[in-house]
């Protein structure tokens, strides 16, 4: 790019930009030529004043002609010869809101809720403001969120230790916590879309999303997370949730082929209208830590399998791989694709937005919530501004729906 010395603008009277470099990226390409009929007077040759407060009074700074760097307009003020000024569309809230490209409404939000069978709500230390709800409390919470316009919730159960097994059979117990709660919620609020998570981890004594083999043929000489055996359990789980009245089942396990298998299982049992929102691009992320605290669902030291989920959740280093997952989920009949975590993965949301016309959901996960809360508690971030901006960023990146622990709070703000 041609460099135009400041002197080129201040020397003498300039009538047009023709004398400047012909490079298409030169300054002249962006600077409208001055009208030939109008003489632009400029202060020549004055060495620019150094903008140090010690040497320059505020009045000196306000006196435009002193800089000697810019053209002077008819009023004697400095003039950047710039016709296109994007700031004009930002000059008032009236204009800003008219040209705003994205908005988030409470209807875009899905509210994740933790529930347990104990008699009291229990706060989750790493997620200030979130609790494990009793059944009564979660019903109240859903009612409050609904009144604010949040029409979708997703349920995550903390299952008593004694009910956990490697096969996680409790996940399809029709009188288990989730099916019971789904039925209660649908009876009370038929217009709330109840989503359920499909994965074995809350029910697994290994803390894994799938069944663990008792051999040592897996990663690092550990047991394997058995794909197809797990998919069979997931089908049972999804069917059980559908029978209880779930509107949406959301497989978060990352087993291969589970979307198609669940679709067939649902269709075969008459649940053709139950939606599948697939956790399509779910990464093996450190940002799930607080969630696993909430449910006591982290991979166990006692497990025969590795203490991480890297053999099924995706490598955070990869983005092309998300397209492979997406193509499979689309072909297998997913109704909506999810990207998870959220904020650190906006590039993946954008990539999937360009690759599919299906709706996309982003999960603003527990660790992201915890980071925000921690900074807010220290007074380092303005909570409302930071949360609303984050939600908007998901939309801008290409997400239609956002799962966030802030759903109710954000809806309250949106209603103000
Ligand atoms: C379970 C599941 C997890 C989350 C949603 N479903 C945890 C995990 O995969 O270990 C994480 C949600 C969050 O961190 O907010 N399969």
Write the CA distances from 410 to 152, 153, 185, integer angstroms: 14, 14, 22
The structure's pTM equals 0.85
Task: Say if ligand 1 is within 6 A of residue 292 CB.
Answer: yes
> Which atom of ligand 1 is least distant from the CA of 197?
6
Taking the chain (416 residues) in runs of 10, the rounded mean pLDDT of each run is 40 38 40 44 47 47 63 91 97 98 98 98 97 98 98 98 98 98 98 98 97 95 97 98 98 98 98 98 98 93 92 98 98 98 98 98 98 98 98 98 98 97
Q: Which residue has the tokens 């599919």?
A: 356
Q: Determine if ligand 1 sits within 6 Å of the CB of residue 201.
A: yes
C-alpha 402 – ligand 1 centre gap (Å): 15
Residue from 201, 258, 291, 341 whose mutation best tests the ligand 1 pocket (most atoms within 8 A of CB): 291
**Residue 289 Cα: closest atom of ligand 1:** 14
Residue whose CA is closest, atom 7 of ligand 1?
288
Atom of ligand 1 nearest to the CA of 287: 14
Q: What pLDDT does residue 4 have?
A: 41
Write down the pLDDT at residue 11.
38
Q: Ligand 1 mean position to 283 CA, how many Å?
A: 10
Q: Which residues pair with 339 in a beta bridge?
A: 281, 362
Q: How far is the CA of 112 from the centre of ligand 1 (A)?
A: 11
Ligand 1 lined by 394 (C-beta under 6 Å)? no
pLDDT for the residue 68: 81
pLDDT at 254: 97
Point out which residues pair with 114 in neighbouring strands.
132, 156
Please report the pLDDT score of residue 21 as a whole number.
38
* Residues classed as catalytic: 282, 340
Mapping DSSP onto H, E and C, the string for 326-363 reads HHHHHHCCCCEEEEECCHHHHHHHHHHHHHCCCCEEEE
**CA 146 to centroid of ligand 1, rounded, Å:** 24
Q: How far does CA 216 lie from the centroid of its chain?
A: 37
Distance of alpha carbon 86 from alpha carbon 88, whole angstroms: 5
Span from the CA of 291 to the centroid of ligand 1 (angstroms): 6
Ligand 1 and 288: CB distance under 6 A:
yes
Q: Where are the alpha helices (DSSP H) in 18-69?
A: 27-30, 58-62
- Nearest atom in ligand 1 to the alpha carbon of residue 291 is 14
């Amino acid at each position: 790019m041609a460099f135009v010395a400041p002197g080129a603008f201040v020397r003498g009277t300039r009538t047009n930009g023709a004398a400047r470099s012909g490079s298409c990226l030169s300054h002249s390409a962006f600077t409208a030529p001055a009208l030939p009929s109008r003489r632009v007077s400029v202060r020549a040759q004055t060495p620019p004043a150094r903008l140090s407060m010690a040497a320059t009074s505020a009045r000196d700074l306000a006196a435009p002609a002193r800089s000697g760097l810019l053209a002077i307009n008819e009023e004697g003020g400095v003039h950047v010869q710039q016709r296109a000024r994007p700031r004009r569309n930002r000059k008032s809230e009236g204009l800003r809101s008219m040209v705003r490209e994205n908005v988030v409404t409470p209807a875009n939000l899905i509210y994740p809720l933790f529930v347990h069978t104990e008699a009291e709500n229990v706060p989750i230390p790493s997620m200030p403001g979130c609790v494990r709800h009793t059944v009564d409390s979660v019903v109240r919470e859903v009612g409050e969120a609904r009144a604010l316009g949040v029409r979708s919730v997703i349920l995550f159960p903390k299952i008593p230790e004694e009910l956990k097994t490697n096969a996680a059979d409790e996940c399809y117990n029709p009188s288990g916590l989730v099916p019971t709660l789904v039925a209660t919620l649908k009876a009370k609020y038929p217009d709330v879309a109840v989503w359920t998570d499909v994965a074995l981890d809350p029910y697994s004594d290994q803390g894994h999303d799938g069944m663990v083999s008792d051999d040592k043929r897996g990663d690092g000489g550990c047991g394997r997370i058995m794909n197809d055996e797990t998919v069979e359990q997931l089908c049972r789980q999804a069917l059980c949730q559908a029978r209880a009245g779930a509107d949406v089942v959301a497989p978060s396990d990352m087993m291969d082929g589970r979307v198609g298998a669940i679709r067939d299982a649902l269709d075969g049992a008459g649940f053709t209208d139950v939606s599948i929102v697939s956790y399509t691009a779910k990464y093996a992320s450190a940002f799930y830590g607080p969630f696993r605290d909430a449910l006591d669902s982290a991979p166990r030291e006692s497990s025969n399998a590795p203490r991480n989920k890297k053999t099924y959740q995706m490598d955070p280093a990869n983005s092309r791989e998300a397209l492979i997952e997406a193509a499979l989920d689309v072909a297998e009949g997913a109704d909506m694709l999810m990207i998870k975590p959220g904020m650190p993965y906006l590039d993946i949301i954008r990539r999937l937005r360009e690759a599919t016309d299906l709706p996309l959901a982003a999960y603003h996960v527990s660790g992201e919530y915890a980071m925000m809360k921690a900074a807010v508690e220290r007074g380092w971030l303005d909570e409302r501004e930071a949360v609303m901006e984050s939600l908007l960023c998901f939309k801008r990146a290409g997400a239609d729906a956002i799962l966030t622990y802030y759903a109710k709070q954000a809806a309250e703000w949106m209603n103000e």
